[in-house]
Amino acid sequence: MDAEKTIFKKIIDKELPADIVYEDELCLAFRDISPQAPTHVLVIPKREIPSVADLEDSDAELAGHLLLVARDLARQLELDGGFRLVVNNGPEAGQTVDHLHVHLLGGRNLTWPPG
Ligand code: AMP
């Protein structure tokens, strides 16, 4: 069963170390292992939801919670000049871990459009 766990589920279960910056009953936030900006944090639900496409209408509160936690972390991590939230969905968007996650990126000028 363990072999089927995603990397993020192992982090939630504290089987893999992570630089955790926030945790509550619904979600966990930790620093990305391969940061794409000076600040790069991932906010993930503790419940296993593979992607945005798998969210149910009944997950509205949880989905909103992830956004509000990202907002609070942006303040806490002093991303006063701006920040970007990214949620990759599916292989064509570059999603590599099948556990919903919100990237919080900041600390440098972020170009647009993204790649
Ligand atoms: P995505 O490409 O949107 O699926 O993002 C997955 C992210 O997870 C990437 O930015 C990876 O660098 C990050 N990542 C993968 N493994 C770990 C890990 N063990 N700890 C922290 N971040 C990770």
| Model pLDDT for residues 1-36, shown as the tens digit of each residue | 456 899 999 999 999 999 999 999 999 999 999 999
DSSP state of 106: E
Is the CB of 58 within 6 Å of ligand 1?
A: no
pLDDT digits (tens, 9 = 90+) for 51-70: 999 999 999 999 999 999 99
DSSP state of 81: T
Q: Which atom of ligand 1 is nearest to the CA of 40?
A: 10
Are 27 and 44 in contact by the 8 Å Cβ rule? The answer is yes
| Residues known to be catalytic | 101
The residue to mutate among 5, 6, 7, 20, having the most atoms of ligand 1 within 8 angstroms of its beta carbon, is 7
Q: 2-106 sits in which CATH class?
A: alpha beta
What are the residues whose beta carbons fall under 8 Å from the beta carbon of 15, sequence distance 6 or more?
2, 5
- The domain locations on the chain are 2-106
**Cβ neighbours around 36 below 10 Å, total:** 13
Supply the pLDDT for residue 73: 98
Supply the pLDDT for residue 64: 98
31 - beta bridge partners?
Answer: 41
